[in-house]
Amino acid sequence: MDSSLRRARRSLAALALLSVFTLSHVGAAEDLRLLPPAAARQRLAALRADVAHHDALYHQKAAPEISDYDYDRLKQRLRELEAAFPELARETPAVAEVGDDRSGLFQTHRHRERMLSLDKTYSEADLRAFQARLAKLLGRADLAYVVEPKFDGFAVSVTYEKGKLVRVVTRGNGVEGDDITANALMIRRLPRGLRATAGDGTANAIPDAVELRGEVYVSFAEFERINAEREAAGEVLFANPRNLATGTIRQLEPKEIERRGLDIVFYGIGACLPASMQPPTQRGLHEMLKRWGLPGVESTWTARGGDELWAAIQALNRARAGFAFPTDGAVVKLDSVAQQREAGATDHAPRWAMAYKFAPARAETQVRAIVVQVGRTGVLTPVVEFSPVELAGSTVARASLHNRDEVARKDIRVGDFVYVEKAGEIIPVVVGVNTARRPAEAPAFVFPATCPACATAVAQRSGEVAVRCPSAACPAQLRRRLEHFASRECVAIDGLGPAMIDALVARGWVKDVPDLYRLRREDLLTLGKDVAKSTDRLLAAIEASKHAELWRFVAGLGIPQVGTVAAKEVARRHGSFDALLSAGASVANDSAGRAIAAYFAEPRNRALVENLIAAGVRPAGAKTEATGARLAGKIFVLTGTLPSLTRAQATEKIIAAGGRVAGSVSRNTHYLVLGADPGAKLDQAHALGVKVIDEPALLRLLRDD
């Protein structure tokens, strides 16, 4: 984790910035009852159209155009307008309060019990009003509440029958959702069955059928890993962990889902048969989830009355800086299930629960420039540079605008004052423009029609939003390709930094990657005085890189959709460049394989690899069964935190020794490697008779190999 992310998470407790930017329809506070009916009807239609548009982007496409704060404000404003003009609201169908996430890609399944949303607020006053309403409704001032972190992911309903997992369904429209069971089985901590015996040896009661509510999410660490791979592969980064989780669970290839470390947490219950087996309190439900071996909410707070409730939310806000998972608020629930039933629900949300969302960290700053960068795949990416501002514990001065359409949609201009947020508390993003402060002379930004690096006319492929420079000779693309190839994540050529690469490209000594291995000492010595030692070190590093592991070369080629994980699997499977070149389309058994097959189908790319081989590149192939490696064919599963190895390091060592690392325990698993705080995989291993070893035992196996 980089230092900026650590600073951002440490400072979350200090963040209480309220957004000053609102959509044009939202406006300042006003007495809606004073609106003329014609104006109210027009505003209602506009708000409903906006909400429907953003509902589809948020729930179905995982591609929101506005921040969560502005999305929530927009929906709240619509509710207020409908309440002020109920007769106008009944003229046309209302926008569904429960956003519909059905994608059309899956079969749908009906929930046994409706899966509702939650009322949301950013206001302490609203929260206290919620508590006062419940106290009045139930005739008690000292109601007991449970306060839980609000996971920022993708809501699901998971059904177990007779203790066996049978179905995973999205919220959908609250009545029915997408059946994503096959994809969800790739989630590492989703148990296939409820544990019949608790950790203390006592028997667990197992319902005939139970619907459990939970959230699929991605941890901060996994979010960073996946974005690093996408950056290395020249792909667009995910804006936040929620978009990553939502986009991943809808992938139609389970292998691709397994490569991304999705996680799941359980926190609620829908239908339970028989109903008498439902725990009588929310705290009791959390305990039962743990007894069943399900990943539950680890940190909760209890409170009685409005003051304790507000103090608990503040305590959660301070604590979330140390959470490994993304949160965007707190969920307040009545503890007593009997009181929950007495309070009831509206059409869209329970009356006994509310989500208090933490306002985003936001700052206003002025745009200094909009520059267009050319990536190694030719994609032109506009980047806005602005006056530095402190945001979520770090100083930021630039943010990606992603593509030409995004610049046009937001209409950002040089000289504008813009609002910047940390998307997912990690990546800075411009969320809007303060048009009231726009300089009169600020012209609209015009996206270039030619490449800013080589003046080639740009192009846009059918079905893509990206605009590209199509020239393979573009010096900007070449520089980025060389930087990627020489990076530590690829063949790791020390001394080949951006300045040296600029010099090599400017002098025409390197026109493609293989030319690195043809550099001459006498040429490099002309780059300046006293460069003999640095030249010799660079040439030695280049020579050493000829024998880097095969996966590093595969990753260094920069094939779209092929990051380090996929590259290691390809290297393990084929073992050499010659074998990979001859394999052709036979590698295309998943999206990464298809990407590699498409890459080598182009003569230019095959020629590049052949030129690398001709220049003396002899990568060290991954060990396979043919090499006689002791761990060849052995399948390992990792659980918990190991004493000295990270999960990535352990995986790399196992693969290098010929083994394979799987995401879940099955009858084919040979070893479960056990670390601290293991999950349900340990119980699954015991149930299936899988051998459990610790890190020292794993290292002994590797040494024997």
- DSSP characters over 602-642: SHHHHHHHHHHHHTT---BPPP-GGGT-TTTT-EEEEESB-
- Residue with the two structure tokens 């619509």: 78
Catalytic residue among 120, 150, 568, 681: 150
To which H or E segment does residue 90 belong? none
To which H or E segment does residue 302 belong? strand 301-304
Span 519-543, mean pLDDT?
Answer: 90
d(CA 227, CA 337): 41
Q: CA 397, 400, 403 angle in degrees (round to 5)? A: 155
Distance set, CA 210 to CA 87, 112, 196, 268, 288 (Å): 41, 9, 14, 11, 12
Pairing of strands 108-110, 176-178: antiparallel
Output the 3-class SS for 175-219: CEEEECHHHHCCCCCCCCECCCECCCCCECCCCCEEEEEEEEEEC
Structure tokens at 455: 């003046």
pLDDT tens track for 123-167: 899 999 999 999 999 999 889 999 999 999 999 999 999 999 999
- Residue with the two structure tokens 């602005």: 386
Classify residue 350 by its DSSP letter. Answer: B
Residue 379 or residue 40, greater confidence: 379
Threshold 0.75, pTM exceeds: no
Q: Using 50, 70 and 90 to split pLDDT, how confident is the model at 558?
A: confident
Domains of the chain, first to last? 1-17+361-453 (2.40.50.140), 18-89 (1.10.287.610), 108-357 (3.30.470.30), 475-614 (1.10.150.20), 625-704 (3.40.50.10190)
Closest to 416 in 3D by CA, of 448, 376, 370, 350: 370
Span 276-292, mean pLDDT?
Answer: 95
Reply yes or no on whether 511 is catalytic.
no
pLDDT tens track for 194-253: 998 877 778 889 999 999 999 999 988 888 888 777 765 556 677 788 888 888 888 767
| Helix locations, 250-294, DSSP H | 254-259, 282-291
pLDDT tens track for 451-489: 999 999 999 888 777 899 999 889 999 999 999 999 988
pLDDT tens track for 189-205: 899 999 988 777 788 89
Share of the chain above pLDDT 90, in %: 42
pLDDT tens track for 627-655: 445 677 788 888 888 888 877 678 768 87
676, pLDDT greater than 90: no
113, pLDDT greater than 90: yes
Averaged pLDDT of the chain? 83
d(CA 53, CA 654): 47
Phi-psi region of 282 (alpha: psi -120 to 50; beta: other; left: phi over 0): alpha
354, pLDDT greater than 50: yes
- Is residue 361 within 8 Å of residue 425, measured between CB atoms? yes
- Is residue 211 within 8 Å of residue 159, measured between CB atoms? yes
Share of the chain above pLDDT 70, in %: 85
Q: Using 50, 70 and 90 to split pLDDT, how confident is the model at 612?
A: very high
267, pLDDT greater than 80: yes
Residue type, 137: L
Of 261-270, 608-617, 626-635, minimum mean pLDDT range: 626-635
Residue 524 or residue 577, greater confidence: 524
d(CA 134, CA 334): 9
